[in-house]
Amino acid sequence: MPPPAIRWNEIGPRLVDLVISNPGMTRLHRLGFTTTGLPLFALEITDAPGESTAKPIVRLTGAHHGNETVSTDIVFGIAAFLVSPEAQPLRTIFSFWLFPVVNPEGFEVRDRYNDSGADLNRDYGLYWADDTAPFSQPETRAQLSFSFHHPPVLSLDYHSEAEYVNTVYDGSSVTPPEINTVLEFGEVYAQPASLEVIVGYEWYVANGSCQDFLHGTLGALAYTIETLAPSNTTSIVSANVGALQDILAHLQDRMVCGRVTDTSGRPLRARLQVTAQPQPFLTTASGTFCHVTDADPIQWVVDAPLFGRGTFSMPAASIPDPLEFQLAPSTASFGAFRIVSAGDLGSVANTVNPAYQALGTPDGLTFVLGRDGFVVLDTGLPLRNGAGAELTVVFDPARQGARVSASVSDEPAGTFAACGDYTGDFDLDLSTCGVTTARYIRLANLLQNPQAALDGLLISPSSVPTAVDDDSDGVTADLDCDDSRPEVGPGFEELCDGIDNDCNGLVDEGYPVAADGLIDCTAPDAGPDADGSLPDADADVPDIDTDTPDPDGDADQPKVQDGVSCACRHSGSGPHPGPFLVLFAIGVLLLRRKIL
């Protein structure tokens, strides 16, 4: 008899056991909770997890639909492979982020939808079509925040029950300029997994899918992997582990990685494009990026708010190592930094009309919102109300009769404060919206004819409070992710306080996450004490090494300072994971495959 499918109440314990058994290469995170209080787990696997590195990010997700349990089996099977000795070379190159269950509520009752009745794989922010708004659920809002802070170079989203590598786009019939690259990588994955590559729209139309959002707003190579769901999933898991190895080997050969800084060497959050394949992609908070392009020579265009545009050209065979782009400060107006979401474009979805043409300052390339369409733009930095307008919205000169409603927010998914309805180009003063700060602007089309065609924004540098430090933490508001809290700032120490102290999108990072998703602030090292005992609420043992005066200085897993901060490499406490280790070892033997 095959083993029964894993249940929700087994997910947390299994993740905790996996992390305890593999210190130094794993870390368990909790991104938040569902509406009913179930934890949203994320498993990080890499060498030295938790450290800010330049490694390209690979994102692996299961159970967007709670009744597709084989997808969770595959993600756990991949996790077992990634912590094996065979995968050590991959851990030095990539940072893997695994989400075995995106939809805990649906998974708990074996339902496609969460408890609010939402299909989470229709709640992302591109080609979105529904009655509310994209990112309406805590599960997808958690993914939105994570993806911006940790933009992936590759995303594999597992589903069942079909036999496809499903590629972009699901919500539009338009072929993106980079389609050859998309199909190339799809074929690399499909062959060892015995799957067929198919463009999503040609299979069936799906609005608001995760893969469309990740590719269309962040430039990731994003795929939906559809597999069969046999009662015994061993062969399916093994095939997908092998396919992952193949696509990672191909990615190593094809990707170009680099870094964007200012002239002093400080890393920048920047947007990059390659002119031949202009889908934008973003750097991490460390200024790093990785991207795949067929262009030769490669013409790079690099933008960051408050910095002048950089253009760089190089032959594909002569890319510098290290590859670094430096941008100089600028006092010129700047445009929107990234697309957060855009609605179903109706008939416009069948024409070349990429949302990214709304980014930057006006350049004659426009994004038509569509009859019932909208767009949410991230200005890249918080704007503050001052004298006069903070920004100007510019439309196609030939469509100045178009009319839109405008609203703003400090959060990418809202709530949005209404500013008013406008015809043609208009100046926006935040005081008309009843707010003092905002970073996100939502524009919604109001007329069937003419439909609004957005050319870009003109944001005044004076709207960005570069000299303001409301919380007196030494970080100005333009660089601080929360200028109302002195304990929050880029690179700050992560405290166990329910807040993202270091501005990396992760709350209470490094503190032990228990199987129920609760975080233990009283046991920061959560590892064996010096006497070799199991974790025990971090009771100190006598220090016998005079060269190491800190408490627990001789422990197998020492922390930074006992009771103050945490440098954990594994989490949780509980019974010895012996039975799991036996099963884990068997699984690794079954799944091992030569790295190409």
DSSP letter at 336 equals: B
Q: pLDDT-based confidence at 349, cuts 50/70/90?
A: low
Q: Are 537 and 543 in contact (CB under 8 A)?
A: no
Q: pLDDT-based confidence at 551, cuts 50/70/90?
A: very low
pLDDT value, residue 1: 54
Q: Which two tokens stand for residue 210?
A: 């995760």
Residue with the bigger pLDDT between 409 and 573: it is 409
Q: Cα–Cα distances in Å, from 128 out to 206, 347, 457?
A: 9, 14, 23
d(CA 79, CA 76): 5
**Same domain for 239 and 260:** no
**Same domain for 111 and 245:** yes
On the question of pLDDT at 17 being above 50, the answer is yes
User: What percent helix, strand, coil does the chain show, rounded to 5?
Assistant: 25, 25, 50
pLDDT value, residue 366: 96
Is the residue at 536 inside a domain?
no
pTM metric for this prediction: 0.86
Q: Report the alpha-carbon angle 66-167-195, nearest 5.
A: 75
pLDDT value, residue 362: 98
Q: What is the enclosing helix (H) or strand (E) of 468?
A: none
pLDDT value, residue 402: 96
Is the residue at 492 inside a domain?
no
Structural domain tally of the chain? 3
pLDDT value, residue 258: 97
d(CA 159, CA 228): 9
**Domain's final residue, options 459, 483, 508:** 459
Q: pLDDT-based confidence at 559, cuts 50/70/90?
A: very low
Is the residue at 514 inside a domain?
no
Is the residue at 3 inside a domain?
no
pLDDT value, residue 552: 39
Is the residue at 333 inside a domain?
no
**Same domain for 370 and 301:** no
d(CA 305, CA 478): 10
Residue with the bigger pLDDT between 90 and 1: it is 90
Please report how the helices 70-82 and 234-254 are oriented relative to each other, as an axis angle in degrees rounded to 10: 60
* CATH code where residue 423 lies: 2.60.120.260
* CATH code where residue 269 lies: 2.60.40.1120
**Same domain for 194 and 87:** yes
Q: Which two tokens stand for residue 500?
A: 């993202």
**Same domain for 264 and 247:** no
* 244 backbone φψ class: left, alpha, beta (φ>0; ψ -120 to 50): alpha
Reported as a single tens digit per residue, the pLDDT across 197-222 is 999 999 999 999 999 999 999 999 99
Q: Tell me the β-bridge partners of 256.
A: 291
d(CA 392, CA 458): 5
Backbone phi and psi for residue 19, each to the nearest 5 degrees, phi listed first: -70, -45
**Same domain for 306 and 250:** no
Mean pLDDT along residues 98-111: 98
pLDDT value, residue 371: 86
Reported as a single tens digit per residue, the pLDDT across 453-475 is 999 999 999 999 887 888 888 88
**Same domain for 192 and 64:** yes
Reported as a single tens digit per residue, the pLDDT across 157-198 is 999 989 999 999 999 998 899 999 999 999 999 999 999 999
Backbone phi and psi for residue 326, each to the nearest 5 degrees, phi listed first: -110, 135
Is the residue at 193 inside a domain?
yes
On the question of pLDDT at 567 being above 60, the answer is no
Q: pLDDT-based confidence at 549, cuts 50/70/90?
A: very low
pLDDT value, residue 523: 54
Q: Tell me the β-bridge partners of 367.
A: 454
Domain extent at residue 408: 338-459
pLDDT value, residue 31: 95
**Same domain for 288 and 355:** no
Q: What is the mean pLDDT of the chain?
A: 87
Please report how the helices 578-591 and 8-21 are oriented relative to each other, as an axis angle in degrees rounded to 10: 80
**Domain's final residue, options 219, 237, 254:** 254
Mean pLDDT along residues 265-282: 95
On the question of pLDDT at 138 being above 70, the answer is yes
On the question of pLDDT at 506 being above 50, the answer is yes
On the question of pLDDT at 348 being above 70, the answer is no
User: By C-alpha distance, which of 85, 66, 51 is closest to 6?
Assistant: 66
Q: Are 451 and 366 in contact (CB under 8 A)?
A: no
Is the residue at 516 inside a domain?
no
**Same domain for 249 and 115:** yes
Q: pLDDT-based confidence at 4, cuts 50/70/90?
A: confident
* CATH code where residue 61 lies: 3.40.630.10
| Percentage of the chain exceeding pLDDT 70 | 86
DSSP letter at 196 equals: E
**Same domain for 272 and 382:** no
Q: pLDDT-based confidence at 553, cuts 50/70/90?
A: very low
On the question of pLDDT at 59 being above 60, the answer is yes
**Same domain for 454 and 356:** yes
**Same domain for 178 and 297:** no
| Percentage of the chain exceeding pLDDT 90 | 70
Reported as a single tens digit per residue, the pLDDT across 508-525 is 888 889 999 998 887 544
Q: Are 154 and 246 in contact (CB under 8 A)?
A: no
Is the residue at 404 inside a domain?
yes
Please report how the helices 234-254 and 179-193 are oriented relative to each other, as an axis angle in degrees rounded to 10: 140
On the question of pLDDT at 594 being above 70, the answer is no
Q: Are 402 and 447 in contact (CB under 8 A)?
A: yes
pLDDT value, residue 157: 99
d(CA 370, CA 367): 9
pLDDT value, residue 3: 66
On the question of pLDDT at 584 being above 90, the answer is no
Helix, coil or strand: residue 380:
strand
**Domain's final residue, options 191, 226, 254:** 254
